[in-house]
Amino acid sequence: MNIILLGPPGAGKGTQAKRIVEKYGLVQLSTGDMLRAAVANQTEIGLRAKDIMVRGDLVPDEVVVGIIAERIDEPDCGNGFILDGFPRTVAQAEALGDLLHKRGRKIDHVIQLEVDDEALVGRIEQRAKETGGERKDDNADTLRSRLAVYHESTAPLLPFYAAKNALKKVDGMASMDDVTVAIDKILV
């Protein structure tokens, strides 16, 4: 089973992805985590991505598509994966569709976590406190630009997947446990 979790930054994609991974034996593929690792290891991709990420902008499509294309070929992805933070543009979604098609695979569920922007600012500030500011992009200013980028570049994925009858919505403002239950109902 292959899943996409969609929603703005701070919507709870990472938390829910981890829960789904445990329950269904899938692999969580977070392009944000992979890019942060690349920055920490000062790889070529990391050096390219660093400033873009601090600003809250998007890393070029071909970079993230390349990362995902390599990663899904690894054996641990054989049982399925959950994409968290990818795709983030229609071009990425199209590239994903092509590369899955070439491998005889497909996306089974696209789940949107619906949340309200103002509530997100509070959540991100909370995450910054909990992680001791480990993520340089967790602050109210960067969040506003990440939200603007989300609405401009990522929100068009909603009609894109809705047109394929693939989109399922979950109320992301509910408690974390209720969100997990709602996702579970879609997956079983």
Pick out residues in 120-149 that bind ligand AMP (CB under 6 A).
137, 146
Residue 71 designated active-site: no
Whole-angstrom distance, CA of residue 94 vs CA of residue 187: 23
Residues 7, 39, 86, 96: which binds ligand AMP (CB under 6 A)? 86
Assess 81 for contact with ligand AMP (CB under 6 A): no
Catalytic residue (choose from 135, 136, 144, 168): 135
Residue 59 contacts by C-beta under 8 Å, 6 or more apart in sequence?
31, 35, 48, 49, 52, 53
Q: At what angle do helices 176-187 and 13-24 cross, to 10 degrees?
A: 50
Residue whose beta carbon is closest to ligand AMP: 32
Assess 110 for contact with ligand AMP (CB under 6 A): no
Residue 127 designated active-site: yes
CA nearest neighbour of 110 among 31, 169, 175, 28: 169
Residue 123 designated active-site: no
Residues 18, 46, 52, 105: which binds ligand AMP (CB under 6 A)? 52
Nearer to ligand AMP, 134 or 188 (CB): 134
Whole-angstrom distance, CA of residue 72 vs CA of residue 86: 13
Residue 48 designated active-site: no
169 DSSP β-pair partners:
112
Q: Which residue has the tokens 């005889």?
A: 104
Assess 162 for contact with ligand AMP (CB under 6 A): no
Residue 102 designated active-site: no
DSSP state of 112: E
Active-site residues, by number, are 13, 88, 127, 135, 146
Q: Give the footprint of ligand AMP on this chain (CB under 6 A).
A: 9, 31-32, 35, 52-53, 56-59, 64, 85-88, 92, 137, 146
